[in-house]
Amino acid sequence: MAGFYNGMSLPVSLFICLMVIMLSLMFIPFLVLMVRDK
């Protein structure tokens, strides 16, 4: 289990970081529009 985690930690962490950044970039303008609408 430790070897599998060490082998996958870097690509998985980079992939998760990229997904979080993309979701944030898509969600922030939507959130701003909703806040301004109210």
What whole-number distance in Å separates Cα of residue 32 and Cα of residue 21? 17
Could you tell me the pLDDT band of residue 19, with boundaries at 50, 70 and 90?
Answer: very high
3-state percent helix, strand, coil for the chain, nearest multiple of 5: 95, 0, 5
Is the confidence at residue 7, as pLDDT, over 90? no
Percent of the chain residues topping a pLDDT of 90: 34
Question: For residues 11 and 3, which has the higher predicted lDDT (pLDDT)?
Answer: 11
Q: What is the DSSP letter of 1?
A: -
The predicted model gives 12-18 an average pLDDT of 89
Instruction: Return the pLDDT at 2.
Output: 59
Could you tell me the pLDDT band of residue 6, with boundaries at 50, 70 and 90?
Answer: low
Q: What is the DSSP letter of 38?
A: -
